[in-house]
A and B are shown apart, each in its own frame.
Chain A
Amino acid sequence: MNGMHLSRFPLSAKVFCSLFLIGIGCGSLAAFAQAATSVGISASAVQASLAPDLPMAGMRHGEASAEREMDLGELSSAAKVWMRTPLLIQTSHTHLFGQTLISGLLGLIFLFVPLREALKAAIVALPFVGTLVDIGGMWATRFVSPSLSFLVITGGTLFALGYVLIAALSMHDLWLRKETT
C-alpha cells in the first residue's frame, strides 16, 4: 500500500503484527473447539441447536394442550446448547461486532502485503463475508428453513480460510520476503 510493505516495517511493528496474528489464530482454534463441544460442527448439529422448537406432543395450531408417552431417549443425553431467540440476538450482536473487528484488524495488516489488487480484495473480503454468512445462516436456519444450517458451516469455513490466507501471506511478507532495492 503506497509502497509501504510489511517486510519494511520496523522490528517492533513486525513483532506486534505477528503476535496479533498468532493470538487470533489461537482464539480461532479455541472458538472452534467451543463450537464443536457446545453445538457441533455438522449441519445437522447446527440445525438441532438453531431450528425452531416444534411441539413434541403433536399439538396442532389452536389446540390448548396435547400429551403423549415418550422415551427418555428423545431427550438429549449430552449437555447441548439450544439457542433460543434471545440468545441468538445476544450471540449475533457480540459475534457481529467481534468478528467484524477481527476481520478489520486482519485486513488492516493484510493491506500492507504486496499482491495484485483483485486477489488482495478477494482475500481481504473472506472473513467479512464469512461472518455475515455465518450469523445470517443462524437467522435463516431459525426463521426461514432448518435446511439452511449449512450456511453456518460455510460462513465459518470462509472466515477460517480468510484467516489462514491472511496470516500465512502476512507472516511470509513480515519475516521471509527479501527486500530488493
Chain B
Amino acid sequence: MIRRLVFLLCAMAAAPALAHVTPPVLLVSDRDAVTNLLAGSKRYFVREVRLTSAERQAVQKETGWAPDEDFYRFYLGRDDQQHDVGAVTFLTEYTIHGPVRVAVALSPDGKVKGAAVVEVSEETYPWVKRLIDQGFLASFAGRDAHAPRPQRGGSSMPGFYGDIIAGLVQRAALLYEAGILKRAHS
C-alpha cells in the first residue's frame, strides 16, 4: 500500500516539474526603458496606430510575422523645439521557455536607435544576459527595417535568443515604417 502510494506521488510530482515555465525576470521598467532610449526628449507623446490590412500584409511579406494586435503603441519623444527625438515600442515573443519582451527605439528616419530587453523568463535569463554582456543589443543601432539581421551564429541557446531579439527589433522597425513613416509621406 505504502509503496504504491509513494510511486503514485512521485509520478504525479514529475509532471508539473517538466511542464513548468519559470517566473519572469524584469530587467527594466517601461518608464526607465522609454527614458533611457529617448534620452534628450523634453516632452513625451503616446501614439497608437491601427494597421490597415495592406500594411499588415506588407509586414507579413517582409518577416513572415503577422501583426495581429488591434493596435500598436509608440511612445514618442520630442525636444524643446518640438522636433522628434525618436519613438519607442514594446514587443513580445512567446517562446517555449516563456516571454521575451523588448523595447526598441527608432529614429525619425526609421533606423534603430537602440534596444533593451525588458522581460525574460528566469530560465532564459542566463542566455539573454550573455547577449547583453556581449553588446549584442548595441549592434542594431543604425540599421533600418530591411537591413540583414546581425548574425549570432551557431545553434546555442544564446544564438537562438539572439535571433528572437533580432526578429523583434526588425518587427518594431517595420511597424514604425508602416504605421508612422509611410503614412507621414503619403
Q: Please give the residue numbers on chain A whose beta carbons come within 8 Å of chain B beta carbons, in ascending order.
A: 4, 9-10, 12-13, 16, 20, 34, 38, 55-57, 59, 63-81, 84, 86-87, 90-91, 93-94, 97-98, 101-102, 104-105, 108
Contact = CB atoms under 8 A, between A and B. Distances in A.
A10 B124 CA distance: 43
B48 A65 contact: yes
Contacts of A93: 19
Interface string B26-42: 11111110110000000
B94 A55 contact: no
Interface residues of B, number: 44
Contact of B16 (A10, A70, A73, A101): A101
A69 B50 contact: no
Interface of B: 1-2, 5-6, 8-9, 12-13, 15-16, 19-21, 23-24, 26-32, 34-35, 43-50, 52, 71, 73, 75-76, 92, 94, 98-99, 119, 179, 183
Contacts of B27: 79
Contacts of B179: 65
A70 B32 contact: no
A167 to B, nearest CB: 15
B158 to A, nearest CB: 22
B4 to A, nearest CB: 11
Contact of B76 (A10, A67, A84): A67
A76 B31 contact: yes
B50 A77 contact: no
Contact of A70 (B12, B35, B44): B44
Given A57-B47, A70-B44, A75-B31, A97 B15 contact: yes
Contacts of B1: 4
B13 A13 contact: no
Given A65-B50, A65-B179, 13 more contacts: A34-B23, A57-B47, A64-B49, A66-B47, A67-B45, A74-B46, A75-B34, A77-B31, A77-B32, A79-B26, A79-B27, A86-B92, A98-B16
Contacts of B44: 69-72
A55 B19 CA distance: 34
B5 A108 contact: yes
19 contacts: A9-B2, A10-B2, A13-B2, A16-B9, A65-B47, A66-B48, A70-B44, A72-B34, A74-B46, A75-B31, A75-B75, A76-B30, A76-B31, A81-B24, A94-B21, A97-B16, A98-B16, A98-B20, A108-B8
